[in-house]
Amino acid sequence: MEIVFWGVTAALAALGLIELVRMLVFWITRPLRPGAITLVLSIEDGEECEQLIRAGVARLQWMDWGPCRLVCVNKRQDPQVEGICKVLERRYPQLTLCKTQDLVYHILQSDQAD
């Protein structure tokens, strides 16, 4: 039982050390004035839509970069993807749903807003 305890303790210590190194590297390499980031998700079907959006939001929060946006592209014009994105847009204000042909305008809009 003692071996299991020390094994779990060592694993948690290693994870904590990795997280500390990640935070230190991001802090050292951060720019003085960070620009805006736009992460574009290309979603094909409604089955993976919510999972991809939540992973994208988590990635933006994990990076902790500054003003970030998440643009979700509905490639196949799936109504299920549109419905899920509309619901998640209320929870995540940085999320925007767009069509494939409007992607450039959404990215340029985020550049002009800054």
pTM of the predicted protein model: 0.66
Interacting residues of 22 by C-beta distance below 8 A, sequence separation 6+: none
User: What CA–CA distance (Å, rounded) separates 50 from 102?
Assistant: 21
Over the stretch 31-78, which tens digit does the pLDDT of each residue have? 777 677 888 888 887 788 889 999 999 988 877 777 788 899 888 888
Query: How many residues belong to the chain?
Result: 114
73-103 residue pLDDT tens: 888 888 898 899 999 999 988 888 888 787 7
